[in-house]
Every structure is written in C-alpha cells, then in structure tokens.
Amino acid sequence: MNVLVVIPVYNHAAAIRAVVEGVLREGLPVLVVDDGSTDGSLERLAGLDIRRQRSPVNRGKGHAILEAAALAGAWGFDGILTLDADGQHDPADARLLLEAAQAAWPAIVVGARRMDAGNAPRSSLFGRAFSNFWVRLECGQSLADTQSGYRLYPVPFLRSRRFLTRRYTFEIEVLVRGAWAGLPLVSTPISVYYPPGAERISHFRQFRDNLRLSCLHTALVVRSLLPWPHRRLVPRPPRAGVAAFLRRLSQEHASAGELAAAVWMGIFLGALPIIPFGMAAIVYVNQKLHLNRLAGIAASNLCVAPFVPFLCIQTGHLLLHGHLWTDFNRVTLLRQIHLRAWEWLLGSLVVGPVLGLAGALLTYVLVRACWEGGRG
C-alpha cells in the first residue's frame, strides 16, 4: 500500500505541530487539511516537510477527508490514513492500522480506542455504544469503536461513492456505505489520551450534531430496508451450500442483544394485521436489519389468532371510542369488518411494541443466564 497520512484540522493550533512531527518520525508522508481554522493552525507548521491544503471556510471533517482523497488519488496514493489533530491519537499506532490492513486490503481499518482509562468522558462511552448499535443494524458488521477518527481508507472507495453528510456524521456514514460496497471493516486496538477536562478541545454540539446523527441513521435504516441492491466495489463471495447456509442461519446475529431485538421485531410485525404476508415481512425486515430471522419467526407465533388480534382490536376500540368492544353480533363482526381491521391496526401499534419489549427483555435475561450457566 502507498498511504498518505491525512490530518484534518480546525482550530487546533496548540496541538497540531506535535501531532504532525510524531507522524513524520514514523516516516510517513503527511497532508494537513485546514478546514477554515481561525487560530493560525496551519502557520504553526512552518518549516515541516508536509503537504498543505486550506479551505477558506469551515465545511466539515467529511469534506476535508473527501478533498484529501481526491488529492491523494491524483498523487498516486492507494489509501489515506486519518487521525485527529487534537493529540488524542498516538502517531506510532499508525503502524497497527497498516499491519491490520495487510490481510484484507482493500478494507476500512478503524483504530478502536482503549477507553478503559478513568478519564474517558462518559458521554464518549455512551456515544460510542449507541453508534456501534446503529452501525451494526444498518450494515450487519460489528465494530468496537465506530466513532474513532483514526482510520485507513481505500482512496478508490472514497472517490467513487456519494455521501449524504460532510460533517461529524460523515465518519458513521462512510463505515455503513463501505460495508454495503463489500469492503471488510477491520478493527484494531489503539491507545488514546484524554487531557484534563479544561484542556479538551471539542467541536461537537449536543443538539445540532445529535439531530444530524438521528437524521442520518433514519436515512440509512430506510435505505437498508429498500429492496434494490447496493453498488459493490468488491464482488460477493461464492454462495455456500444448503447445509452451510442453514448452519449459518441458525448461528448468525445470536448475541443476547441481537436475539432480543429479533424477538421484538417478530412480535411487533406479528401483531400487525398483515396475516397473509406476516412471515415474509419478518424474514425481509430481519434480513435487511441484520437480525436473527429464525428468532423473529419463532417469536411471531406468540401473536397467533385469536388472542393477540383480539387484544389489538379491543385496544384500538378503546383508543377510538373510550370503551371496550362488547357488542358482538353479525353486524359488528361481518358488516363492520373494515372498522375492526382499522381498530386492529391502531391497537397493534400499541400492543405490538409493549409485548415485543416484554419478549425482548425475557429473551435477553434467559440468554444471558444460559451463557453465564455455560461458563460456570
């Protein structure tokens, strides 16, 4: 691999020179992309043998990375290795990412920060776990740290895809679209340094950036449910035989959390008034969201008629009229069947999630108990 180290910088004048000098000590070429800094960050690098690119205004980290990929491709580089300019990453760990890529290139390699130190912000720990969950749901691949900025990207992938976002959310989107394109997502542990709270520099804005993340995850989940295939950069591997397929089907996405999510989805969809298409819908949705299909189908049997449908109709009737349905006769059962169907649909949107949550919690507890008993 012919790799260019890319350091996006935005108002990190205090830390940027030490970061760049650390990378140069590793013998790697460096491109610093100044994303509209106003504190003279680029001027702090005078005298260093590096490439520089400056944007007159702040356009976002994703824009800086894509701009760097275009330059790297024009200069003949195969990959770009990005790290943050705030000093949290150790430049010496670049070798760990390059080594991890050797067996799987082209791939996206992510440095998983060891965040077990006592000074790791709780917000970062929660944000990482939250992001990891959604990325796994959207593309089916599990990563230890989907928010790390220490990454290795293939240049052809970045130059051949269109991305919705250009700011903080870009680093989430690029992982999902990379998996959709067939690229392996590889994780390797790296160190991380968190300075004391007063010294930390963060451009994350709670409301604005969380709103952007919510919009992005909504768009990615919707796209993952759509039936047309993703354009792949790497060809699909040959399909396995029937026996191997059935074995993989029963074992895939089988952690406690994944099985609980599959059970919730199976009960929720099973409660909806889509009886002729219920099983097909469960298989399709669980396949697209990378949930265990067998667990979802099994859980949907809890919604077998007449008990759960009747409960949904009663709930819908109560919501619409303020009282339960007690007038059972030929008219209300046959001639008003369209009203019962509407009440069923409305009630299922309440009963399904509640029953699904109960089933998911029970599944999670039982699976964890079985695992603990097995290890004991």
* Residue 11 pLDDT: 93
Count CA atoms closer than 13 A to 14's CA, side-chain side.
Answer: 7
Question: CA-CA distance, 18 to 36, in Å (whole number)?
Answer: 20
* Residue 245 pLDDT: 47
Closest CA to 221 of 128, 285, 144: 285
Residue 171 contacts residue 62 (beta carbons within 8 Å)? yes
- Residue type, position 119, single letter: N
pLDDT in tens, 351-360: 999 999 999 9
Q: Measured in Å, how far apart are the chain's first and last C-alpha atoms?
A: 46
Say which DSSP state 302 is in.
G
Question: CA-CA distance, 256 to 241, in Å (whole number)?
Answer: 27
Is 242 a residue whose pLDDT tops 70?
no
* Residue 165 pLDDT: 93
Residue with the larger pLDDT of the pair 326 and 241: 326
pLDDT in tens, 130-141: 899 899 889 988
Q: Convert 178-199 into a string of H (helix), E (strand) and C (coil).
A: HHHCCCCEEEEEECCCCCCHHH
Question: CA-CA distance, 64 to 72, in Å (whole number)?
Answer: 12
For the ranges 44-58, 220-234, 250-264, which has the lowest average pLDDT? 250-264
pLDDT in tens, 318-345: 999 999 998 888 888 888 888 999 999 9
- Residue type, position 228, single letter: W
The three-state secondary structure class of 56 is coil
How long a stretch of residues is the chain? 376
* Residue 117 pLDDT: 56
Residue with the larger pLDDT of the pair 73 and 199: 73
Residue with the larger pLDDT of the pair 299 and 243: 299
213: Cα separation from own chain's centroid = 10
Q: pLDDT averaged over the chain?
A: 88
Residue 152 contacts residue 101 (beta carbons within 8 Å)? yes
Q: How large is the average pLDDT for residues 29-55?
A: 95
For residue 253, give the H/E element and its range: none
Token pair recorded at residue 244: 């191997």
* Residue 373 pLDDT: 60
Question: CA-CA distance, 41 to 44, in Å (whole number)?
Answer: 5
CA dist 37 → 43, 56, 65, 131, 137 (Å)? 10, 8, 15, 28, 36
pLDDT-based confidence at residue 302 (cuts at 50, 70, 90): confident
Yes or no: domain 3-225 corresponds to CATH 3.90.320.10: no
Question: CA-CA distance, 234 to 194, in Å (whole number)?
Answer: 37
Q: How large is the average pLDDT for residues 43-69?
A: 95
pLDDT in tens, 154-186: 999 999 999 999 988 999 999 999 999 999 999
Where do the structural domains in the chain lie, given as residue ranges?
3-225, 242-375
* Residue 156 pLDDT: 95
Question: CA-CA distance, 184 to 325, in Å (whole number)?
Answer: 55
Question: CA-CA distance, 143 to 132, in Å (whole number)?
Answer: 6
CA dist 106 → 109, 141, 178 (Å)? 9, 16, 10
pLDDT in tens, 202-221: 666 677 777 888 899 999 99
Residue with the larger pLDDT of the pair 49 and 277: 49
* Residue 122 pLDDT: 76
Please state whether beta strands 151-154 and 79-82 pair in parallel, antiparallel, or not at all (unpaired).
Answer: antiparallel
Q: What percent of the chain has pLDDT over 90?
A: 60
pLDDT-based confidence at residue 374 (cuts at 50, 70, 90): low
pLDDT in tens, 76-96: 999 999 999 999 999 999 999
* Residue 75 pLDDT: 96
* Residue 276 pLDDT: 73
Q: How large is the average pLDDT for residues 280-285?
A: 88
102: Cα separation from own chain's centroid = 24
Determine the angle formed by the axes of helices 206-225 and 278-288, rounding to 10 degrees.
Answer: 130
Q: Is 358 exposed, middle or buried (0-12, 13-18, 19+ CB in 10 A)?
A: middle
Q: What are phi and psi of 6, to 5 degrees?
A: -115, 130
Question: CA-CA distance, 352 to 369, in Å (whole number)?
Answer: 25
